[in-house]
A = this chain, B = another copy of it.
Amino acid sequence: MKHTEIVHALAKEASLHEITIKGWVRSFRSNRFIAVNDGSTIKNLQCVVDFENFDEETLKKVTTGAAIEVTGTLVESQGQGQSVEVQTSKITILGEADPEEVKLTILSPKRHSLEKLREQAHLRVRTNTFGAVMRMRSKLSFAVHKYFQENGFYYMHTPIITGSDAEGAGEMFKVSALDPKNPPLDDDGNVNYKEDFFAKETNLTVSGQLEAETYAMGLGKVYTFGPTFRAENSNTSRHLAEFWMIEPEVAFNDLNDNMDLAEDFIKYVLKYVLDNCQDDLEFLENRVLQEDKAKPQAERQEMTLRDKLSFVVDNNFKRVSYTEAIDILKNSKPNKKKKFKYIIEEWGADLQSEHERFLVEKHFKCPVILFDYPATIKAFYMRLNEDEKTVRAMDVLFPGIGEIVGGSQREERYDVLKQKMQAMDISEEELSWYLDLRKFGTCTHSGFGLGFERLVLFATGMGNIRDVIPYPRTPGNAEF
């Protein structure tokens, strides 16, 4: 008989029909109630056993972590917390879990810290917290695709291994198939990459944007959703060396359209999880509440997790120019009282995380889109404004997260772009294909990048980015 997934069993009417389920034992109380979970939902299915009808040897093996198959009748539950339960007629042990060995792992029933769970990342998905986070990550991923596909965007896979190091978004990892101990050298004593696999020096991509632009110029509206990399020694709760990024790029969109797209997109995906992840959200919301109890009042969340998501979905993001933001910051209390680590003295300053948080969390108390940044602190490809001082850049800032989106209208004018590249010492030869886009049917176009893990962080209420990706890669850590 085919087994029934627990999510489906729980949705069924109590009936006198027999069902079989398979899953892992979460607990076995009073020699009578087995809580079984199969990952299809955060909820366990309670299987009630009359111990007199079962072989003692079998029941002994019903321990936390064991895989079992249970056959029985789905009946209305007598107890609280579930509508149906299984009156068990048969138990088969599929895979044991020696209780002594389980004690050494995070599968043991006692509470474990997130740090401890991280050390056993191959088992942590079996806990309620990580099960919920990873199911939500999956649903969010699908919402990303659904949004773009329903709106006429084409998904494109930009290259991971890149021969270009001109993207400028950060430090890159090198990729090579040469013998690292004795690489071939050229006449000047440098590594001779002509003998490497790709016959040139190659790196891991930091962004698919430039390639996405080439496709937007053909397909109109495209998006990427793939891994990107930073070889930066950032040991923070907000940075990963390997993370997934979403980068839409749209021909004929200007910066306003770009801001509209970012806002609409974020609202859609958060609405999607509000509608489709209720059980996991409820669990994670309670997790945050529990965690907050240990914190001083001032550090606690002002809203529950679901209220926070609903707030973003239901309210307009505040759009503020960089120039306005600088005025607000200059006149702010923490600036005047020198509470900021970096005091804002004049226009042109790069905003630090403390400034962004002040704007979002204290001043506006909602998601904020900053736009029209000074050209000097932004990338070469952003469109220069008429004032020749600012560029059509935008950042979306989120409470508790900081920058979640960075984007811009792209410089579509051949001469201006070329000049900018020269000024910033970017190789025209290497990016001749990128310049070509401005030579053949150039047009206004815009796009942005959204760090997917920061979105998952926000949606799940987790505090550390290492806890929202299955196997985090950070300085000193590439386990599993």
Q: Return chain B residues, CB-CB under 8 Å to A310.
A: none
- Using CB atoms, name the residue of chain B closest to A474: B198
**Complex copy number for this chain:** 2
A441 touches B475 (CB 8 A): no
C-alpha gap A421/B476 in the complex (Å): 27
Cβ distance A195 to chain B, nearest Cβ, rounded Å: 11
Give complex CA distance A438, B438 in Å.
57
Whether A112 is near chain B, meaning CB under 8 Å from some CB there, is: no
- A156-B470, A162-B478, A198-B473 known; 18 new pairs, CB 8 Å cut-off, are A24-B217, A24-B441, A38-B220, A40-B152, A67-B441, A122-B211, A123-B440, A142-B149, A161-B241, A161-B478, A162-B480, A174-B175, A174-B177, A174-B180, A180-B180, A180-B183, A181-B190, A198-B475
Tell me the minimal C-beta distance from A254 to chain B in angstroms: 12
- Chain B residues, CB < 8 A from A211: 122, 470-471, 480
> Among the listed B3, B25, B181, which residue makes an inter-chain contact with A191, where contact means beta carbons less than 8 Å apart?
B181
- Is the CB of A342 closer than 8 A to any CB of chain B? no
Per-residue contact bits, chain A 428-464, to B (CB 8 Å; 1 contact, 0 not): 0000011011111111100000000000000000000
CA distance A435 to B160 in the complex (A): 31
B-contacting 9-mer, from A100-108, A293-301, A320-328, A356-364: A100-108
Query: Is A480 within 8 A of B226, CB to CB?
Result: no
Contact assessment for B160 and A160 in the assembled complex, using a CB-CB cutoff below 8 Å: yes
Given contacts A199-B476, A478-B198, contact A218 B126 (CB under 8 A): yes
State how many residues of chain A have any CB contact under 8 Å with chain B: 108
Q: Is the CB of A173 within 8 A of B175?
A: yes
Q: Tell me whether A159 and B242 are in contact (CB under 8 A).
A: yes
Q: Does A477 contact B (CB under 8 A)?
A: yes
| A473 CB → nearest B CB, Å | 5
- For the complex formed, measure the closest distance between the CB of A280 and the CB atoms of chain B, giving whole angstroms: 11
- Chain A stretch 121-165: residues in CB contact (< 8 A) with chain B: 122-123, 125-126, 130-131, 134-135, 137-139, 141-142, 145, 149, 152, 154-164
Give the chain B neighbours of A130 by CB distance below 8 A.
218
Q: Which residue of B lies closest to A24 (CB)?
A: B441
Q: In the complex, what residue of chain B is closest to A68 when comparing beta carbons?
A: B441
Docked CA distance A24–B189 (Å): 48
Q: Given the complex, which residues of B lie within 8 Å of A350, measured CB to CB?
A: none
Q: Which of B154, B183, B200, B242 contacts A135 (CB 8 A)?
A: B154
Query: Is A94 positioned at the interface, with any CB of B under 8 Å from its CB?
Result: yes
Which residues in chain A, 185-208, are within 8 Å of chain B measured between CB atoms?
189-191, 197-200, 202, 204
A-B contacts, 13 of them at CB < 8 A, read: A5-B220, A39-B251, A94-B442, A122-B434, A134-B215, A173-B176, A173-B197, A174-B177, A181-B189, A197-B475, A198-B241, A211-B470, A227-B227
- Scoring A125, A162, A433, A476 by chain B CB atoms within 10 A of each residue's CB, the highest score goes to A125
A14 to B456, CA, bound (A): 45
Whether A217 contacts B126 by the Cβ 8 Å rule is yes
Q: Confirm or deny: A7 has a beta carbon within 8 angstroms of a beta carbon on chain B.
A: yes
- Is there a chain B Cβ closer than 8 Å to A33's Cβ? no
**How long is the Cα–Cα vector from A178 to B231 in the complex, in angstroms?**
10
